[in-house]
Chains A and B, each alone.
Chain A
């Protein structure tokens, strides 16, 4: 497998890798580093890649594992993740700003979900993978994936309703 073949296989999903990394690591810089690191790894194991049927699923699994490692080492070194991707919600009269805030709220709410729900909602609702692929990526049973996804969606919805009502009254 030469370089151009390799790139043809792996480049189409670079954005998905990046977005998953960002979902887990929060900061854009961290996610960029993680993406870069992942492509080093893929390039190093390029001989094996030719044998994989689904390189994309393999890459997503690797991304997930790599991000978990990063998070663990971060916890070990007592670094905290900085949430810098959304604005603090303010009391604004502008309807458009309010709408934007609500969309940002979703980001915060997903941020607050447990890790596996976070990944699954990222893979399903944002990247739109089908259930078989998600099961492979996260190494979980289909029922477990569905339960986690359902829980995540319900949590986000309930929190949104709560926040919205609170804002109105």
Chain B
């Protein structure tokens, strides 16, 4: 390809008026190695275009998306918050009940302690009364 022709094509190329075919001609010239010094910048351009086109997508393409971890975690947090809410709702009355029972037990213990004390003292009184009773019967016997 003569240089004059290439120069003309380059001019058209810059104005984006070249056809694909003409661009292929340019590409062949500039990647061929024998480039006129004043057109060197095009050599860089076309070599870049050619190299970059060799880049391939090497991974295998999957058609069904993998289950993403992110989404699972999102649902997990929702489930956790619901569970928490439920435990609070259900747990609250049960906890109250438990507290009441504890309180009742405490009161029961106090009351039974008090009653024990009372009965102990009553027993003492009863013994005294019993002694008095025997004393009185003895006195009655003597007086008879």
Contacts and interface: CB of A to CB of B under 8 A. Distances in A.
Interface of A: 3, 6, 11, 14-15, 17-19, 22, 32, 35-36, 39-40, 43, 99, 102-107, 125-128, 130, 145-147, 149-150, 153-154, 156-157, 160-161, 164
A106 B59 contact: no
A40 B13 CA distance: 38
Given A11-B61, A43-B63, A106-B44, 11 more contacts: A14-B57, A35-B59, A36-B62, A40-B62, A102-B44, A103-B47, A127-B53, A147-B16, A149-B16, A150-B14, A157-B42
Chain A to chain B: the 10 pairs with minimum beta-carbon distance, closest first: A18-B57, A106-B48, A150-B16, A160-B41, A149-B16, A146-B16, A102-B44, A43-B63, A103-B48, A39-B61
Given A125-B49, A164-B40, A15 B20 contact: no
B44 A40 contact: no
Contacts of B118: none
Contacts of A104: 48
7 contacts: A6-B63, A22-B55, A35-B61, A153-B14, A154-B14, A157-B42, A164-B41
A153 B16 contact: yes
A105 B14 CA distance: 19
A43 to B, nearest CB: 4
A168 B140 CA distance: 148
Q: Number of contact residues on B: which range applies?
A: 20 to 34
Contacts of A40: 62-63, 65
A131 B109 CA distance: 97
A15 B55 contact: yes
Given A40-B65, A150-B16, A153-B13, A105 B57 contact: no
Nearest to A110: B48
Nearest to B44: A102
With most chain A CB atoms within 10 A of its CB, the pick from B15, B23, B44, B49 is: B44
B17 A146 contact: yes
A81 to B, nearest CB: 17
B11 to A, nearest CB: 11
B41 A161 contact: yes
A157 to B, nearest CB: 5
A157 B40 CA distance: 10
B51 interface: yes
Contacts of A3: 63
Contacts of B51: 103
A154 B44 CA distance: 14
B55 A18 contact: yes
Contacts of A128: 20, 23-24
